A and B are shown apart, each in its own frame.
Chain A
């Protein structure tokens, strides 16, 4: 099978429930492509090597025009890219500025201290399920939980969710490299419009917070000065757009994939009930086994690079297939087994290197709390259908709904 055929199959919605056999097929050639498509890198060591390789860029301006067109990665003429799509030194400066109110070294206890607040949100959501015998885990818990959390952290009013939900979904769908070039061009129009709308909305909030700051990240970005100074107004907007979307479009899948995986492994579910300390390693295994971000389709080469015997030319589009690397038998024994306390689990679920997940400590804590509480409090949860209906997105992969029947809610 050619690489294009394989990529098309990976992106094909029909294969969303189980792309892993396709990844196994891909790994037989660690780096593949045909004339027009991107280079797909699928083995653990090759992916990890490129994540640490300074000859790899995340900036779409370094793609050749042909590669940019073939993969639908064009510049938004209205709004500059966020630090996710920038290289050092701009990336490093913006990430440091964004990290200042969120994590170490300046605010090392931020996520740790949110433990009680996060647990309260989960408890409230599960309490709200009393009296029901059927739930949709996505709409009832997996989605509202991280959205509420990121809104509180950033300082975005939770009730505005009805506004930004659709914009966020459209922008997240833009990551999905599916469709003909024409379809992708049309989709990019929608994505750019959604980015503009979300940017306008957040710009208004940032201005409010600048005038009367509160204890949240938008206020900190708008008012605080550190060794790097301050972000420009446009940088504040692109960064908050990024954080708002990344803060929930991924964690929703981590929690849903987690519950789905537990329901498919009842012995592990039972173990987590009696052994809450298992949540730490279990979430790491989940990030390996069913990573919420399946591939990183936004990399390019600054120079000709040889990877596993294949020469990738300068300016090529490169997709790093992290979910495939996570199932590489060269790295993980028995990779297709879910082993909740797997030793030496250096998965690629949060990426690696300079773009490694900004919100990883928060995502870990959210997933650990949600899954521990769900298995503790849901009585006799059962899957209504397996596989459940998936979202279209092949990059941010996860169920759109996860209908469950339950016997009740425990205290």
Chain B
């Protein structure tokens, strides 16, 4: 049989297994059907719920505006799939093309897509983590429980880690008028994702909204009462705070343990894949029947020095799922690269924060529009003389322009003036990112790996 003939047969009657039934898995399944895949499609998910949307869990759900079980993802098209929900994948046999499930079943595939995503990093002291009142926030079930506790009116909430999730939780607490302490090991909230200059603004924002913000401290212990309920948290500076709810927001861990001895190039930083979403094996050889998409994937991006980017971004999950689905059912000449411009948003303390590009790569920052003091601004980030990222606080309308600047590798600092340029926007300053070898809550973009080539590519996105 010719290879083309194989592809035709595969598209007609092949077997695709998607492990991971959240945003990326669902959108990939829909895209596979849209691409004309008519074979057997199986979706495996460790949670019992149908695919749901996570961004509202730390915002509207905690505020009680939306019930946690009302965030189910809208379906774009019927997927006609066999659903294996509530049954985690536990192993992969690359040679036999077979996935093992926790309930003992095995699923044979012709092509596999891995979209297992990430989970919340738990509190490292297991006994303390088991105290009543100690939470993480990643899943719908987490959100139900946390919302229940917040609604009951706790005396004080402690949020450990001031990344995006931690900051949004603190924001929800304040909006509910619940006293909240935020403990951050770094110098400021969001410092890992946005750097120290913008982190200072985030710190001001938290304090102005009545958050008891403590930076540069670690939580050294959580103490419970005789009934096993959390009562006190101790900090590395010798202080302590009484709290009856603790939310651990220390970033995420990639769900790759089930692949530990599979021979796939999977580890704590995710699963490495090429720009076409094909996974690498441990030898560095790209597979042709295992694809990866979403938070668990890391893939090289030509705009950012071919570094392997792991992105915990909603939009990336959708875009990468669509590319993976297309490539899974296409001949090699028709395959597409995943060249997503990293971007994300956050809503906290009444401010809409948006970002494009890869801020943590930057060495310098310049406030090109607006003012940090007014908490309403656009900042451009520079790396080795080019624009690499931009962040807006309540100025999202300008991001399109900066996205084009990043795509064009425009020079940094920007040579042009703009509307609303203030005195503080005349000179770049150090972006002030913490040493990446000292992870705290972790940024939502991580950079890892490096290719020896550092050629500038011209990258012009196809416009309609």
Name A residues whose Cβ lies closer than 8 Å to a Cβ of B.
Answer: 45, 49, 52-57, 87-89, 92, 302-305, 330-331, 344, 353-354
- Bound-state CA distance A87–B463 (Å) is 29
Partner of B419, one of A45, A88, A305: A88
**B398 interface residue per 8 A CB criterion:** yes
Name the residue on A nearest B416 (C-beta).
A303
Name the residue on B nearest A56 (C-beta).
B419
Counting chain A CB atoms within 10 Å of each CB, which of B370, B376, B420 scores highest?
B420
| Given A57-B419, A89-B420, A302-B416, also A353-B370 (CB < 8 A) | no
Q: What's the nearest-Cβ distance from chain B to residue A318, in Å?
A: 14
Per the 8 Å Cβ criterion, residues 306-335 of B in contact with A are: none
> Cβ of B401 and Cβ of A54 under 8 Å apart?
yes
A-B CB contacts (within 8 Å), total count: 51
Pairs across A and B, CB under 8 Å, 23 listed:
A49-B404, A53-B401, A54-B368, A54-B369, A54-B378, A54-B419, A55-B417, A55-B419, A57-B419, A87-B419, A87-B420, A88-B419, A89-B370, A89-B374, A92-B420, A302-B416, A302-B417, A302-B418, A304-B416, A331-B464, A344-B464, A354-B397, A354-B398
> Cβ of B416 and Cβ of A55 under 8 Å apart?
yes
**CB neighbours of A92 from chain B (8 A):** 376, 420
Name the residue on A nearest B420 (C-beta).
A88
> Cβ of B398 and Cβ of A54 under 8 Å apart?
yes
**B400 interface residue per 8 A CB criterion:** yes
**CB neighbours of B401 from chain A (8 A):** 49, 52-54
> Cβ of A353 and Cβ of B418 under 8 Å apart?
no
Question: What secondary structure prevails in chain B residues at the interface with A?
Answer: mixed
| Given A88-B370, A89-B370, A331-B464, also A52-B400 (CB < 8 A) | yes
**CB neighbours of A354 from chain B (8 A):** 397-398
**CB neighbours of A344 from chain B (8 A):** 464
Partner of A52, one of B371, B398, B416: B398
Q: What's the nearest-Cβ distance from chain B to residue A304, in Å?
A: 8
Q: What's the nearest-Cβ distance from chain B to residue A230, in Å?
A: 18
- Bound-state CA distance A354–B418 (Å) is 13
- Bound-state CA distance A353–B418 (Å) is 14
Per the 8 Å Cβ criterion, residues 449-464 of B in contact with A are: 463-464
- Bound-state CA distance A88–B401 (Å) is 16
> Cβ of A353 and Cβ of B397 under 8 Å apart?
yes
Q: What's the nearest-Cβ distance from chain B to residue A109, in Å?
A: 15
**CB neighbours of B463 from chain A (8 A):** 45, 330-331
**CB neighbours of B418 from chain A (8 A):** 54-55, 302
**CB neighbours of B378 from chain A (8 A):** 54
- Bound-state CA distance A49–B368 (Å) is 18
Q: What's the nearest-Cβ distance from chain B to residue A354, in Å?
A: 5
Q: What's the nearest-Cβ distance from chain B to residue A162, in Å?
A: 39
**CB neighbours of A302 from chain B (8 A):** 416-419
- 1/0 per residue, CB under 8 A from A, across B388-431: the answer is 00000000011011001000000000001111100000000000
**CB neighbours of A56 from chain B (8 A):** 419
Nearest 3 interchain pairs by C-beta: A54-B418, A88-B420, A303-B416
**CB neighbours of A330 from chain B (8 A):** 463
Q: What's the nearest-Cβ distance from chain B to residue A63, in Å?
A: 14
> Cβ of B400 and Cβ of A88 under 8 Å apart?
no
- Bound-state CA distance A303–B401 (Å) is 15
- Bound-state CA distance A53–B416 (Å) is 11
| Given A45-B463, A88-B369, A331-B464, also A303-B400 (CB < 8 A) | no
**CB neighbours of A331 from chain B (8 A):** 463-464
Counting chain B CB atoms within 10 Å of each CB, which of A52, A304, A344 scores highest?
A52
- Bound-state CA distance A49–B461 (Å) is 14
**CB neighbours of A49 from chain B (8 A):** 400-401, 404
**CB neighbours of B416 from chain A (8 A):** 55, 302-305
Q: What's the nearest-Cβ distance from chain B to residue A301, in Å?
A: 10
Counting chain A CB atoms within 10 Å of each CB, which of B369, B398, B416 scores highest?
B416
Name the residue on A nearest B463 (C-beta).
A45
- Bound-state CA distance A168–B320 (Å) is 52
- Bound-state CA distance A302–B374 (Å) is 23
- Bound-state CA distance A89–B378 (Å) is 12
Name the residue on A nearest B422 (C-beta).
A89
- Bound-state CA distance A312–B93 (Å) is 61
Given A52-B398, A56-B419, A92-B420, 19 more A-B residue pairs with CB atoms under 8 Å apart are A45-B463, A49-B400, A52-B400, A54-B401, A54-B420, A55-B416, A55-B418, A88-B369, A88-B370, A88-B420, A89-B376, A92-B376, A302-B417, A305-B416, A330-B463, A331-B463, A344-B464, A353-B397, A354-B398
**CB neighbours of B374 from chain A (8 A):** 89
- Bound-state CA distance A330–B464 (Å) is 7
- Bound-state CA distance A178–B369 (Å) is 35
Name the residue on B nearest A87 (C-beta).
B419
Q: What's the nearest-Cβ distance from chain A to residue B247, in Å?
A: 26
Partner of B417, one of A45, A52, A303, A353: A303
Counting chain A CB atoms within 10 Å of each CB, which of B376, B397, B419 scores highest?
B419
- Bound-state CA distance A56–B401 (Å) is 11
Q: What's the nearest-Cβ distance from chain B to residue A158, in Å?
A: 35
- Bound-state CA distance A260–B231 (Å) is 71
- Bound-state CA distance A45–B401 (Å) is 12
Q: What's the nearest-Cβ distance from chain B to residue A60, in Å?
A: 14
- Bound-state CA distance A302–B418 (Å) is 7
- Bound-state CA distance A57–B416 (Å) is 13
Name the residue on B nearest A346 (C-beta).
B464
| Given A88-B420, A89-B370, A89-B420, also A52-B464 (CB < 8 A) | no
- 1/0 per residue, CB under 8 A from A, across B353-395: the answer is 0000000000000001111001010100000000000000000
Name the residue on A nearest B398 (C-beta).
A54
- Bound-state CA distance A331–B371 (Å) is 36
- Bound-state CA distance A92–B397 (Å) is 12
Name the residue on B nearest A54 (C-beta).
B418
Counting chain B CB atoms within 10 Å of each CB, which of A54, A56, A87, A304 scores highest?
A54
**CB neighbours of A55 from chain B (8 A):** 416-419
**CB neighbours of A304 from chain B (8 A):** 416
- Bound-state CA distance A330–B462 (Å) is 12
**CB neighbours of B371 from chain A (8 A):** 89
Name the residue on B nearest A59 (C-beta).
B419
Name the residue on A nearest B403 (C-beta).
A52
Q: What's the nearest-Cβ distance from chain A to residue B373, in Å?
A: 12
